[in-house]
Structure 1
Amino acid sequence: MTVARSLLLFVLAALAEIGGAWLVWQGVREHRGWLWIGAGVIALGAYGFVATLQPDAHFGRILAAYGGVFVAGSLAWGMVVDGFRPDRWDVLGALVCLVGVALIMYAPRGA
């Protein structure tokens, strides 16, 4: 599996998890109803499935790396969907997280 495919899986996982959480939020906090909540639950389940497609066999490593993707993706989602404008510290924090993702997932490891 290539790094590009792994990165694509992280993006898909982020869309499913962040989108699912947003749908549940909309259903509950914005009173949009059970259909929104149900769609969110389905999307959150899809996230769990997509995460299993990563090449590494270590659950902890995948989830730790995904955490950094989630941080950056959540800020991006907020910008696109909710009009949130991150400040420089939000952006710097997200970049630090993405460097962590790269180290955790793609650093060369000895056999």
Structure 2
Amino acid sequence: MTGRSIALFALAALLEIGGAWLVWQGIKEHRGWLFVGIGVVSLGLYGVVAAFQPDAHFGRVLAAYGGVFIVGSLLWGMVADGFRPDRWDVLGALTCLVGVAIIMYAPRSLP
């Protein structure tokens, strides 16, 4: 179950960050409305993928995804825009991943 959840987080990040990047490119970099349209579709698919997380609590899943989004955004910036994170970016990203692990995968007692 954890492996599936991690894969869903990775796919969701790809769709959301990629979609936002496409919208940004279409508008800010004047690449056109096709980029914007594909970005909007990608953002919608992000919501679909997030709904397949095995945990039934929306707030928990989206809170944890926030940490994944932070890490994914830094990675996307490195690959797509040549961004180079400094040690504080890396420390912050690792801290976020610890938070994701605690929120999503800590053992819980049944209600």
TM-score by length of 2: 0.98
Unaligned runs of 5+ in 1: none
Question: Which residue is equivalent to 1:41?
Answer: 40
Distance 1:40 1:108 in 2: 37
Residue 98 of structure 1 corresponds to 97
Deviation sequence 1:10-37 (CA, Å, 0-9, x none)? 0000000000000000000000010000
CA RMSD of aligned residues (A): 0.4
Match of 2:24 in 1: 25
**What's 2:59 paired with?**
60
Amino acid at match of 2:94: L
- CA deviation vs aligned residue, 1:31-56 (integer Å, no higher than 9, x gap): 00100000000000000000000001
Q: C-alpha separation between the residues in 2 aligned to 1:23 and 1:81?
A: 11
Aligned-partner Cα distance in 2 for 1:30–1:86:
22
Deviation track 1:47-99 (CA, whole Å, cap 9, x = no partner) reads 00000000011000000000000000000000011110000000000000000
Unpaired runs of 5+ residues, structure 2, are none
Q: TM-score, normalized by length of structure 1?
A: 0.98
Identical residues among aligned pairs (%)? 75
Residue in 1 that maps onto 2:3: 4
What SS does the corresponding residue of 2:63 show, helix, strand or coil?
A: helix
Structure 1 residue 9 displacement after superposition: 0.2
